[in-house]
Amino acid sequence: MSGSGAGMRESGARPAVRATRVRWNILTLVMLATGLTYFDRVNLSIAGHYIQSELHFGTVTMGWIFSAFLLGYALMQVPGGWAGDRFGPRKVLTLAILWWSAFTVLTGLAPQLPIAAWLGVAASFMIVRFLVGVGEAACSPTNNKLVANWTGADARGLGTSFSILGIGLGGAATPPLIAWVMQRWGWRSSFYISGAIGVVFAALWFAYVRDTPEYHLGVNAEELRLLEGSRKQTAEPFETGRNAPWKKLLSNRSVWGLLIGYFCQGYPIYFYYTWFFIYLVRVRGLSVTQGGIWGMLPYLSIALLAPFGGAFSDFASKRMGKTNGRRAAVWLGMFVSAALLWLGSRSSSSVAAILLLAGASGCNMFAATSYWAACIDLTQEFAGSLSGLMNTAGNLGGWLSPILTAFVAVHFGWERALDVAALATAGAGLSFALVTAGKSLDHESTDE
């Protein structure tokens, strides 16, 4: 059972005058966990410049190495989400962090691994990064399960924004820090340091996090009262042993709207995680140091706009109903993002281009909070499973992104490559018209 040494509070316990704030600490750890995953994945995009120079990998080969992570990440989303529902986010994510941290360290050793002699150095990188992706796959769906258990129905957009805020902060910190580390100690050292940080964080996560508020010693009766009634009244939903109703989910129009839309969302956002730093250095002519500094901007934009996106989604849902409120947030974010991508690719000024492209990434994630909130709206009981399914689609789009971006850039130019990303972004907005977030699949209730 998740949460050792604590039992459920008695319903008659005398409430404290002021609610404790453990829920905010949990959401902060969700943010940090997500930030750690992006620290471990964005570092390869920074190291890619050095790896290409040292090992003489071409652009297409590097695209396949980037995508190897995404393939493993995409394929394990559903198992990761199911595990979060069944065994709880605390245990599942602790093991996942240790797994991906170990293979992050092995990324630095990829050229020397035995498999490099058997299959080649590029294949060694691909296999190791695939296994990093397998480990990180559990993070987003299990985090969303934790958000479902630790936030009320009126704060799901804001709650999910903590995870996306972690993307922004982790991504913003990575380019300058990793560029600094690599310039002093070489590209391999960045992977060793990242892996060590992961081990420390896994210990912190296991020590503090509990799967539901009832099992956390720091939660008082008043904080429980704030959360009760707005989430399912079971102490440990995953302990029911029920499997996700896949037939019901896959026959639902809203679920398909999430899958198609998030596939489209993943394509443009992974341009920033893979090619953006190299684009700045090789296409826009920035130095490695300048690229590290300017490469922070898309992630700072995400960190700034994601919380606004979550808050706006919750506000619009209260005023317009969940269905129209979530749609309004997605349409605003995605359509503005598509326009900024199109304009940025055509700007003759590198500074203007970077600012426009950075704004596009923030607007994309402004909208993405509503996708994650809609997963909880549609099924709180199986939020991990549905989140994993949706993120599978998103990361299949992400897997395609570095490969197709490289192909289009080589044959038609970088402007056309970014045009494809803008079209995909518009598609993400259009697809959300299929999502009826006000109709819960758990209880067939309606809150339009």
CATH of the domain at 342: 1.20.1250.20
Intervals of the chain under pLDDT 70? 1-17, 153, 228-242, 442-448
Output the pLDDT for position 430: 96
Residue 302 Cα to chain centre, angstroms: 11
- What one-character-per-residue DSSP string does 347-384 give? -SSHHHHHHHHHHHHHHHHHHHHHHHHHHHHH-STTHH
Which residues, in sequence order, are CB contacts of 1 under 8 Å at separation 6+?
215, 236, 239
Q: Do 306 and 168 meet the contact criterion of CB atoms below 8 Å apart?
A: yes
Range of the domain at 26: 22-434
Output the pLDDT for position 77: 85
Output the pLDDT for position 242: 62
Count of domains for the chain? 1
Q: How far apart are CA 366 and CA 310, in angstroms?
A: 7
Q: How far apart are CA 238 and CA 439, in angstroms?
A: 22
Residue located via tokens 């598509």: 338
In a domain, 195, yes or no: yes
CA dihedral sign of residues 441, 442, 443, 445: negative
In a domain, 17, yes or no: no
Output the pLDDT for position 444: 53
- Give Cα separations from 134 to 98, 99, 317, 392 (angstroms): 12, 9, 35, 12
Q: How far apart are CA 110 and CA 112, in angstroms?
A: 5
Output the pLDDT for position 179: 78
In a domain, 372, yes or no: yes
Question: What does the block give as tokens for 300?
Answer: 């700072």
Classify residue 229 by its DSSP letter: T
Output the pLDDT for position 316: 93
CA dihedral sign of residues 222, 446, 367, 75: positive
Output the pLDDT for position 8: 46
Output the pLDDT for position 7: 47
Output the pLDDT for position 239: 44
Output the pLDDT for position 54: 80
Q: How far apart are CA 92 and CA 220, in angstroms?
A: 26
Output the pLDDT for position 26: 92
In a domain, 443, yes or no: no
Q: How far apart are CA 87 and CA 79, in angstroms?
A: 12
